A and B are shown apart, each in its own frame.
Chain A
Amino acid sequence: MSFKGEFEDRQAENDALDSELQQVLANFRSSVHSWSEAAYIRPRTGLAASGRRRVWRLAVGWALGCALVAGGVSGGLYERHQRQETARIAAVHEAERQRQLAADRAREEEELLAKVDSDVSRQVPSAMEPLAQLMAEDETR
């Protein structure tokens, strides 16, 4: 574009901008220029303040991340330990129940046998008793 064309463009643009907007844009430009000049010539001594802020944020981020990971891992371990403990207690209870059951069964069998023994010994037919006495006498003879 020619210089004349640029000039006309600029003129048209300025006409479109009201004076207040022009003033605001000029202030905006000056403010950016001042800020940039100050930032450009600032002494660069090691870490700048915002650099330190960045390092702090990074450190805090890392610390939080580590805490989260540690929390997650220890939570998982605790959960696993709890499950193992519950399973162990359940196994002990089950073994105890089985032992109790076996003992009960043995006692019942013993009682049954005793009952059978006593019943059998009591049921000697009375009609055979004299014969039994004879047998005993024969034996003494």
Chain B
Amino acid sequence: MANAQEIAAEEFSTVVTTHRPQIFRFLLSSTRDVDLAETLTQECFLKAHRNWASFRGESTAMTWLMRIAINLQKDHWRNRRMQFWRHTQTNSVDLDEASDWLPSGESSAEQKLLAHERVGQVWKAVEGLSERQRTVFLLRYVEELELSEIAGATGLNEGTVKAHLSRALARVRKELGGSR
């Protein structure tokens, strides 16, 4: 019995080491708030640890963890709606700051500036998406999950995932097209 517990603890430890950065990244891109992303990541793994025994491996650990993270994030925003001064307390970085993290592959200063502007426009489009569209878009184009994995993590069927993705992409295209 003690041996089984030790094995489970070891397995969970491996899961944390493997998936923590990805869960954090997803929560960071969803909230644009480093502190909040850290807090929610911790809560996610705490919840996962409590329920680790009930995880039957029907989906991958990543999908299971992502599902917990999505639910935590939803709960957080729902609770914040009740807060009178949620606007004054928000710590989300602004879109311009979020666009600062650009890959250094762009050669000229002009290209860098253009890429910065384009990334900013994508952030702006993402901000305007509905909660579901945003989640699906980020899981697809930032986390590069397959449609079936997104469906598993969000609890939607694949057709709905595709529809959300299509609408999200249309919005991004419109945002990018608007400044051309």
Contacts and interface: CB of A to CB of B under 8 A. Distances in A.
Verify that A and B bind, or say they do not: yes
16 contacts: A6-B148, A21-B173, A24-B122, A24-B176, A25-B172, A27-B102, A27-B103, A28-B119, A29-B141, A29-B142, A32-B25, A36-B21, A40-B25, A51-B35, A54-B89, A58-B89
Contact of B24 (A6, A9, A40): A40
B15 interface: no
A101 interface: no
A11 interface: no
B34 interface: yes
A34 B169 contact: no
Contacts of B169: 16-17, 21
- Dominant SS at the B interface? helix
Interface residues of A, number: 33
B89 A57 contact: yes
A28 to B, nearest CB: 4
B118 interface: yes
A61 B102 CA distance: 35
A38 B34 CA distance: 10
A116 B28 CA distance: 106
A39 interface: yes
Contacts of A13: 165
A100 interface: no
